[in-house]
Amino acid sequence: MISEFKSKQSIKMNLLIKSVLNGVTSKGANYLSLVFQDKSGTIDGKFWDVSDAQAAIIKAGRVYEVHGEVLEYNKNLQLRVNLIKEIDEKNIDLNDFVMTTNVPQEVLKSKIEIAIASLKNNNYQSLIKEIFKEVGEEFYTYPAAAKIHHSFLGGLATHITSMVDIANALCELYPSINRDLLVSGILVHDIGKMVELNGPIMTEYTIEGKLLGHISIMQAKIMNIASRLDMVNNEETILLRHMVLAHHGHYEYGSPVLPMVKEAEILYLIDNLDARINTLDNALEQVKPGEFTSKLFALENRQFYKPKHQ
């Protein structure tokens, strides 16, 4: 598995190609920049001096037999590819090549059901129940992002349930928080990603995702459901729409409005906190104690140090 790769190791194994970029060296030689994946993780790779015939068979989203060497580059492991061979994918189980949450699906379902049942406000509960009835079981397989955080099978549910746990702790510390509003906002804020992204195998943006974005997609979904329930003008519906529209916290981060309700500000902070912790956990898993991570784009291009003693 990719997570067990060591520097200077030779490999010959089946891997999913997650992405492919064509490049040309300063001397005019063609090469490919690749990202390989199995259920344990991903690794960047380079295929130098690739022939036109070889490059023509390599497509993102397919599993190939990959031959190469594992090298260390800028304190990160990278794969130098020597050969990529087509294989018969009929005998391939794609689950072996998809990263997945470490939280059992039945636990995620139980946490979501408990969170919905805990809502005391009938209007919030009615809206949330109808939303989750509409999205169905597929919710528990979706990633929360294409690349940066919780980008694995079940990542969306994992992200949302973690946020609910944080919200519950904060509500204990700060009783003035409207828990029903905060938890309702958390439960639905990212469900638009089920339209924005195409799924967990090869996560890419859909046409709707690129043109509309998950924030506006979800705001429209709430309106449609509220209309069916004759709740469009209820304050709870308006507040829930605001929670979704404001949850990125800043105009430049994609929110069409800024948080103007206390719970919307808290939702933005919890969302950011959980995403950053997941990004850091993933990056720090890739380095040894006493080393720094590579620069993390999602964290202002900073490098983070992994202490020798925890």
Longest dimension (CA), the chain: 68
CB 197 within 8 A of CB 224: no
What pLDDT, on the 0 to 100 scale, is given for residue 152? 75
Q: What is the 3-state secondary structure (H, E, C) of 208-251?
A: HHHHCHHHHHHHHHHHHHHHHCCCCCCHHHHHHHHHHHCCCCCH
What pLDDT, on the 0 to 100 scale, is given for residue 37? 87
Domains and CATH numbers, the chain: 2-95 (2.40.50.140), 100-282 (no CATH)
Instruction: Please state, in angstroms and rounded to a whole number, the distance separating the CA atoms of residues 200 and 213.
Output: 18
Helix (H) or strand (E) holding 19: strand 10-24
Cite the beta strand spans of 87-239 per DSSP E.
none
Instruction: Please state, in angstroms and rounded to a whole number, the distance separating the CA atoms of residues 231 and 224.
Output: 10
What pLDDT, on the 0 to 100 scale, is given for residue 202? 66
Cβ contacts of 204 within 8 Å, gap of 6 or more: 146, 197, 198
End-to-end Cα spacing for the chain: 26
* Identity of the amino acid at 20: V
What pLDDT, on the 0 to 100 scale, is given for residue 129? 97
Residue 277 is encoded by which pair of tokens? 């912790």
pLDDT tens digit at each of 310 positions of the chain = 888 898 899 999 999 888 889 999 888 889 999 999 888 888 999 999 998 888 888 988 788 999 999 998 877 789 999 999 998 877 777 778 877 788 888 999 999 999 999 999 999 999 999 999 999 998 998 887 666 566 777 889 999 999 999 999 999 999 999 999 999 999 999 999 999 988 766 677 889 989 999 999 999 999 999 999 999 999 999 999 999 999 999 999 999 999 999 999 999 999 999 999 988 988 898 788 998 988 888 899 999 999 998 6
Which residue matches tokens 């397919």?
62
